[in-house]
Structure 1
Amino acid sequence: MRDLANQNFNIKKPKATAKFLRLILLIVVLAAIFPIGKFFLKPGSLGESSIVLREAPRNLKPINVDLTESINSEGVNLITQSATFKDVQYGGEANATATRSFGGGTYILSVDATLPDPVNTNYQVWLVSGQEVIPINFMNGSKNTWSLRLRSSDKYSNYDGIWITLERTKDELPEEHILEGSF
């Protein structure tokens, strides 16, 4: 049998509480140091750069810059012009806006038009300089909303006139003039 009178009920527990208190103290000190360090050590102070590099879109194409163009630290200065159109066919029912930007070897043309729905025909955009007329492309759209977007090398900036024609055949000759304009 066991002698219950000689039992020692004052058994010392392991010093886990001291380790636990040290761990808590370490966490508190680190929690206090971290925000203070972030406040005093701003980005760029330890050789870090504040510039964020991102991947460029995949459909970008390089351009050749003419060294005679005005280039500043922010890029190439593009000249932007808008065209005013006159309806020569439908008595004011047709209208369009065109803008072009060029410089640095690049030419950008944007044409938006409200035109009657052509039946089995196409609308085409032409650029004009004096007696010289060149076809650009057929317009895209349906019903009465039509548009054209062109991005090319700068070979069109000396053309100051623009036509929209109704074409029955796909050839190099302008047919029925709808709108005529100039930049």
Structure 2
Amino acid sequence: MSESPRPPMHAFVTVGSTRFDALVHKALSPPFLDVLRANGYRSLDVQCGNSAFDPSAFDHPAPDHWHRSHNGLDVNVWRFKPSLKDDYERADLVVSHAGSGTIIDVLRLGKPLIVVPNPTLLDNHQEELSDALAGLGHLRSSTVADLPQAIENFDPSKLVPFPQFDGSRFRELLDEEMGFVERDHTRKNGH
């Protein structure tokens, strides 16, 4: 019995509300697009925010929306939407800047995630967060330059599922931090 072909996959690249020209340029480059195509992806959406890119190779079907085809890969670029939740849900792979909100949203949906910290930011906490979550196995971290290789070598089945949000644990931590609960129970007894 032969294996049935995999359905066409969709990739989503997002820079959120930031400007991350290097990631957008890499995501629209032939090496990146070719690696996606070779790995079974047939469509790519790039949310470019305020990033600069050359729209001259694209059709312009709507304001702030560009489209083209690259060797059978359907490529769409747009700037902003009120919510990215539908885009995360549709994606078989998300490539993202290392914004904490984006990371948490994607990981909670259980989507494979490659995070690319923006090295131009001061006090690059993005890289610290990305490295910490990659070290726990929840995502893959990459540089812009290594992104095609990261896609080529990426095995989503090896990712560790991100724990679901536990509101009661958050409340306990907040109560402790605000002093509503004794942290050290020995203090109650005067020890």
- Under a length normalisation based on structure 2, what TM-score does the superposition of the two structures give? 0.23
Which has a greater percent of helix? 2
Higher share of residues assigned strand: 1
Query: What TM-score, normalized to structure 1?
Result: 0.24
Larger radius of gyration, structure 1 or 2? 1
